[in-house]
Amino acid sequence: MVQANTLRNLSVHKAMRRQVICLEQNKTIGHGISTIIKHKVNALLAVDAELQPVGVVSKTDIMGAYYAGLPIDSPLEYIMLSPPLFCKAGDSLETALEQMRTSKVYRLYVADDQSGELVGALAYPDIVGLLYQYCHQCPYSRLNREKQPGDKEDLLRFRVRELMTSGVKSLPMDATLTTVMEALSAYRFGAMLITDNNGRPAGVLSKTDLALTYKHGLAPSAAVQEVMSTPVHACDADALLEAAIKEMILADIHRLFVHEGDTNTLIGVLSLTDAARGRSGSCHGCVSSRIKVEDHA
Amino acid sequence: MKSTAAGIMTTNFPTLLPETPLTDAIRLFRQSSRQHGRRLFGIIVTDKNQHLVGMLSMYDILLYMRPKHIQVWGAMEDLDVAGLIDAAGSRLKAIQVGDIMTPEVITVGPNVDLFMVLDIMIKKHVRRLPVVEDQRIIGVVYISDLFNHLLERIGD
Q: A85 — contact with chain B (CB < 8 Å)?
A: no
Tens-place pLDDT, residues A46-99: 999 999 999 999 999 999 999 999 999 999 999 999 999 999 999 988 889 889
Q: Which amino acid is at A22?
A: C
Q: Which residue of B has its CA nearest to A128?
A: B72
A108: enclosing H helix or E strand:
strand A107-111
Give burial (CB, 10 Å; 0-12/13-18/19+) of A108.
buried
Per-residue CA distances from A63 to A68, A215, A291, B58, B97 (Å): 9, 11, 35, 29, 21
Residue A12 has pLDDT above 50, yes or no: yes
Tens-place pLDDT, residues A218-261: 999 999 999 999 889 999 999 988 888 888 888 888 899 999 98
Residue A148 has pLDDT above 60, yes or no: no
- What's the confidence (pLDDT) of residue A144? 59
- Report the share of chain A in percent with pLDDT over 90: 57
Residue A5 has pLDDT above 50, yes or no: no
Residue B117 has pLDDT above 80, yes or no: yes
- What's the confidence (pLDDT) of residue A6? 42
Tens-place pLDDT, residues B126-146: 999 999 998 889 999 999 999
| Predicted-complex ipTM score | 0.81
Tens-place pLDDT, residues A149-208: 555 555 477 889 988 999 999 999 999 999 999 999 999 889 999 999 999 999 999 999
Number of domains comprising chain B: 1
Q: Does the predicted TM-score (pTM) go above 0.90?
A: no
Give CA–CA dist A288/A37, Å, rounded. 39
pLDDT grade, residue A14 (50/70/90)?
confident
What is the average per-residue pLDDT within A5-17? 75
Residue A294 has pLDDT above 60, yes or no: no
Q: B66 — contact with chain A (CB < 8 Å)?
A: yes
B22: enclosing H helix or E strand:
helix B22-35
Give CA–CA dist A263/A245, Å, rounded. 19
Beta bridge partners of A193: A170, A204
Q: A229 — contact with chain B (CB < 8 Å)?
A: yes
Residue B62 has pLDDT above 80, yes or no: yes
- What's the confidence (pLDDT) of residue B75? 62
List CB contacts (< 8 A) between B103 and chain A: 31, 34
Beta bridge partners of B52: B46
Please tell me which residue, B81 or B42, carries the higher pLDDT value: B42
Beta bridge partners of A103: none
Q: A252 — contact with chain B (CB < 8 Å)?
A: yes
Ordered DSSP codes for A8-52? GG-BHHHH-BS---EEETTSBHHHHHHHHHHHT-SEEEEE-TT--
Please tell me which residue, B77 or A86, carries the higher pLDDT value: A86
In this structure, are residues B86 and B10 in contact, taking their beta carbons and an 8 Å threshold?
Answer: no
A136/B75 CB distance under 8 A:
yes
pLDDT grade, residue A3 (50/70/90)?
very low
- What's the confidence (pLDDT) of residue A79? 97
B67/A250 CB distance under 8 A:
yes
Contacts for A141-150: CB closer than 8 Å, 24+ residues apart = A141/A282, A142/A240, A142/A242, A142/A282, A142/A283, A143/B77
How many alpha carbons fall within 13 Å on the CB side of residue B33?
Answer: 11
Check which CATH number belongs to the domain holding B150 and give it.
Answer: 3.10.580.10
List CB contacts (< 8 A) between B67 and chain A: 250, 252
Q: A250 — contact with chain B (CB < 8 Å)?
A: yes
Give the one of B69, B71, B100 whose C-beta lies nearest to A34's C-beta.
B100
- Report the share of chain B in percent with pLDDT over 70: 95
- What's the confidence (pLDDT) of residue A143? 55
Task: Name the E strands within chain B.
Answer: 15-16, 42-46, 52-57, 128-133, 136-142
- What's the confidence (pLDDT) of residue A293? 39
Tens-place pLDDT, residues A253-282: 889 999 998 888 899 999 888 877 766 666
Residue B23 has pLDDT above 80, yes or no: yes
> Which sign does the torsion angle of CA A186, A191, A197, A201 carry?
negative
B98/A249 CB distance under 8 A:
no
B73/A249 CB distance under 8 A:
yes
In this structure, what DSSP letter does residue B131 have? E
Task: For residue B72, give how far its alpha carbon lies from the nearest alpha carbon of chain A (Å).
Answer: 6
Q: A34 — contact with chain B (CB < 8 Å)?
A: yes
- What's the confidence (pLDDT) of residue A76? 97
Would you mind telling me the total number of residues written for chain A in this entry?
A: 297
- What's the confidence (pLDDT) of residue A140? 67
Closest listed residue to residue B130, CA positions, set B53, B60, B63, B31: B53
pLDDT grade, residue A128 (50/70/90)?
confident
Would you mind telling me the total number of residues written for chain B in this entry?
A: 156
Q: A242 — contact with chain B (CB < 8 Å)?
A: no
A215/B99 CB distance under 8 A:
yes
Mutate to test the interface with A, among B56, B58, B65, B68 (most CBs of A within 10 A): B68
Task: For residue B142, give how far its alpha carbon lies from the nearest alpha carbon of chain A (Å).
Answer: 25
Closest listed residue to residue A255, CA positions, set A210, A221, A183, A206: A206
List CB contacts (< 8 A) between B60 and chain A: 38
Residue ranges and CATH numbers for the domains of chain A are 9-123 (3.10.580.10), 159-277 (3.10.580.10)
Give CA–CA dist B104/A23, Å, rounded. 12
Ordered DSSP codes for B80-99? -HHHHHHHHHHHGGG-BHHH
Closest listed residue to residue A9, CA positions, set A294, A292, A293, A290: A290
Its domain, for residue B131, covers: 5-155
List CB contacts (< 8 A) between A209 and chain B: 94
Give the one of A37, A125, A143 whose C-beta lies nearest to B69's C-beta.
A125
Beta bridge partners of A195: A172, A201
A111: enclosing H helix or E strand:
strand A107-111
Please tell me which residue, B42 or A157, carries the higher pLDDT value: B42
Give the one of B69, B87, B101 whose C-beta lies nearest to A129's C-beta.
B69
- What's the confidence (pLDDT) of residue A286? 63
A40/B98 CB distance under 8 A:
no
